Chain A
Amino acid sequence: MAQLLFFYLAGVIVLTAILVVGLRNPIYSVLSLLIMFFHVAGLYVSLHAEFLAAVQIIVYAGAILVLYLFVVMLLNVKREDRYHYQFPIGALLGVAILTEAVVLAIQRGYSEDVVPSPPTSELSFTGNTEAIGESLFTTYLLPFEIASLILLVAMIGAIILAKKDILTR
Chain B
Amino acid sequence: MKFTLTMSGADLLLLLPEILLTTWLCVVLAVDFVWPQLRKDRLAYLSVGGLAVVLVTLFWFDLAGISGTLFKHMFVVDRLAIFFKILIVGTTLLVILASMDYVRRFRFFRGEYYFLVLMSALGMMFMSSANDLLSVFITVEFSTFGFYVLVAYLRQDLASNEAGLKFFILGIFAAGLLAYGISLVYGETGKIVFSDIASASATPGLVIGFLLIFAALGFKIGAVPFHAWIPDTYHGAPTPITAFLSIAPKVAAFAILLRMLFVSLATFKPAWVVLLVAVSILSMTYGNIVAIAQRNIKRLLAYSGIAQIGNVLIGLAAGTKMGSDAMLFYLLTYLFANLGAFAVVIAVGNVIRSDEIEDYSGLNRRSPFLAFAMLVFLLSLAGVPPLAGFIGKIYIFLAAIDEGLYTLIVVGLINVVIALYYYLVIVKKMYINEPVDPSPLRISGPMTAVVYVGLAGTIILGIYPRPFIDWVVGATLMFSNLVGPTASVLPPTVLPFGG
Contact = CB atoms under 8 A, between A and B. Distances in A.
A and B touch in the complex (CB under 8 A): yes
Interface of A: 100, 103-104, 107-108, 114, 116-117, 122, 126, 130-131, 134, 137-143, 146-147, 149-150, 152-154, 156-157, 160-161, 163-164, 166-169
Interface residues of B, number: 47
Contact of A157 (B108, B111, B145): B145
Contact of B146 (A108, A143, A157): A157
- B109, B110, B189, most chain A CB atoms within 10 A: B109
A156 B115 CA distance: 10
B142 A149 contact: yes
Given A139-B74, A153-B116, A146 B109 contact: no
21 contacts: A114-B203, A116-B186, A116-B189, A131-B1, A134-B1, A137-B5, A139-B72, A140-B74, A141-B71, A142-B75, A143-B74, A146-B126, A149-B142, A150-B138, A153-B142, A156-B115, A156-B116, A160-B149, A166-B108, A167-B108, A168-B109
Interface of B: 1, 3-5, 22, 29, 36-37, 70-72, 74-75, 107-112, 115-116, 119, 122-123, 126, 134-135, 138-139, 141-142, 145-146, 148-149, 152-153, 155, 186-190, 203-205, 208
B109 A150 contact: no
B158 to A, nearest CB: 15
Contacts of A164: 155
A147 B205 CA distance: 28
A130 B2 CA distance: 11
Contacts of A163: 108
Contacts of A138: 3-5
A168 B108 contact: yes
A102 B143 CA distance: 35
Nearest to A156: B112
Contacts of B188: 114
Nearest to A165: B108
Contact of A149 (B1, B110, B119, B134): B119
A13 to B, nearest CB: 15
A154 B108 contact: no
A141 B111 contact: no
Contacts of A122: 1
Contacts of A130: 1
B138 A157 contact: no
